[in-house]
Amino acid sequence: MRFHDEHKHFHMDAISRYRLINSGGQVVRESPKVAFCLVDLEIADSTLPGFKVNPTYNSCSHNANATTLTMGISVGWADVYAKELEGQSFDVSELMNLPPQQYTLEMTTNPTGILHETNRTNPKTTSVQVTIGQGVPVGVGGPRPGV
């Protein structure tokens, strides 16, 4: 855990990994942002058994001197970060000067196994195809796929 000065609350380190992979399978960028404040931010699925209407986790402590901290994501809730949020990106400036190419943007949750999960058989990975290069519009795109 560490206090994140830009966001003014605590983050849990090493709970995800973001990678940009070229068509040859090589990792061309890896994000330094691997820390999160886990809270019940949006309802993802209110039909799940155990879902509670009111969020259980709703703060990551704004006190930089806190000695204890509880955070999490409850059944049926999601913690969603906007793509514009500070630290939610990695630099692809050099790639923008190349001809357009398709890449895989990959996110793996709990790659080091530090989070308690009922099913620890495999890290959870999701990915989406992106095109980066000369002539490709910047700053467009929809919300992240899946939850």
* Neighbour-count burial for 14-34, b at 16+ CB within 10 Å, e otherwise: ebbbbbbbeeeeeebbebebb
At 103, give phi and psi (nearest 5°): -130, 160
Rounded to an integer, the average pLDDT of 34-52 is 86
pLDDT 10s digits, 66-114 = 787 777 889 999 887 766 666 666 788 889 889 999 999 998 887 877 7
pLDDT 10s digits, 126-141 = 899 999 988 887 665 5
Of 28 and 87, the one with more pLDDT: 28
Contact assessment for residue 20 and residue 92, using Cβ atoms and an 8 Å cutoff? yes
Sorting pLDDT into bands at 50, 70 and 90, what band is 120? low
State CA 59 to chain mean position distance: 17
Tell me the pLDDT of the chain averaged across its residues.
79
With a threshold of 0.85, does the pTM exceed it?
A: no
Q: Is the pLDDT of residue 147 over 50?
A: no
Instruction: Kindly tell me the sign of the dihedral angle through the C-alpha atoms of 90, 95, 100, 104.
Output: negative
Contact assessment for residue 108 and residue 127, using Cβ atoms and an 8 Å cutoff? no
